[in-house]
Amino acid sequence: MTAGGDLEQPDPSDVASFRARREDVLGRIAAAAQRSGRDPAAVRLVAVSKTVPADRLRAAVAAGLTVLGENRVQEGEAKRPLVPGASWELIGPLQSNKARRALDTYDVIQSVDSLELAARLDRLADDFDPRAGGSRVRVPVLLQVNVDDDPAKAGFAPSDLEAALGAILELPRLRVDGLMTVGRLVDEPEDARTTFRRLRELSRRVRAADPRLGPELSMGMSADFEVAIEEGATIVRVGRALFGERAAPAGPTA
Ligand X SMILES: *Cc1c(COP(=O)(O)O)cnc(C)c1O
The values of phi and psi at residue 185, to 5°, are -70, 125
Judge residue 133's burial from the number of C-beta atoms within 10 Å of its C-beta, 0-12 exposed, 13-18 middle, 19 or more buried: exposed
Question: Which string of x and - marks every residue 151-190 that binds ligand X (by CB under 6 A)?
Answer: -------------------------------x--------
- Part of the chain binding ligand X (CB under 6 A), chosen from 17-25, 100-108, 204-212, 221-229: 221-229
Nearer to ligand X, 52 or 59 (CB): 52
- Ramachandran quadrant class, 37 (left: phi over 0; alpha: psi -120 to 50; beta: rest): left
Interface with ligand X, residue 65, by CB under 6 A: no
CB of 68 to ligand X, least distance (A): 12
CB of 197 to ligand X, least distance (A): 18
Among the listed residues 80, 153, 200, 237, the single contact to ligand X using CB under 6 A: 237
Question: Which string of x and - marks every residue 12-51 that binds ligand X (by CB under 6 A)?
Answer: ------------------------------------x-x-
Nearer to ligand X, 124 or 242 (CB): 242
The span from the CA of 181 to the CA of 156, in Å, is 10
Among the listed residues 10, 76, 92, 155, the single contact to ligand X using CB under 6 A: 92
The span from the CA of 213 to the CA of 7, in Å, is 40
Q: Which residues contact 210 (CB under 8 A, 6 or more apart)?
A: 165, 166, 169
The span from the CA of 23 to the CA of 15, in Å, is 12
Nearer to ligand X, 171 or 199 (CB): 199
Which of 141, 98, 149 lies closest to 122, judged by CA? Answer: 141
CB of 70 to ligand X, least distance (A): 9
Among the listed residues 35, 204, 212, 240, the single contact to ligand X using CB under 6 A: 240
- Part of the chain binding ligand X (CB under 6 A), chosen from 36-44, 82-90, 118-126, 233-241: 233-241
**Whether the Cβ atoms of residue 213 and residue 31 lie closer than 8 Å to each other:** no
CB of 22 to ligand X, least distance (A): 14
CB of 218 to ligand X, least distance (A): 8
DSSP E strand stretches across the chain: 44-48, 67-70, 87-90, 108-112, 139-144, 174-180, 216-218, 235-238
- Ramachandran quadrant class, 30 (left: phi over 0; alpha: psi -120 to 50; beta: rest): alpha
Q: Is 140 helix (H, G, I), strand (E, B) or coil?
A: strand
Interface with ligand X, residue 114, by CB under 6 A: no
Contacts with ligand X by CB under 6 A lie at: 48, 50, 71, 91-92, 182, 221-223, 237-240, 252, 254
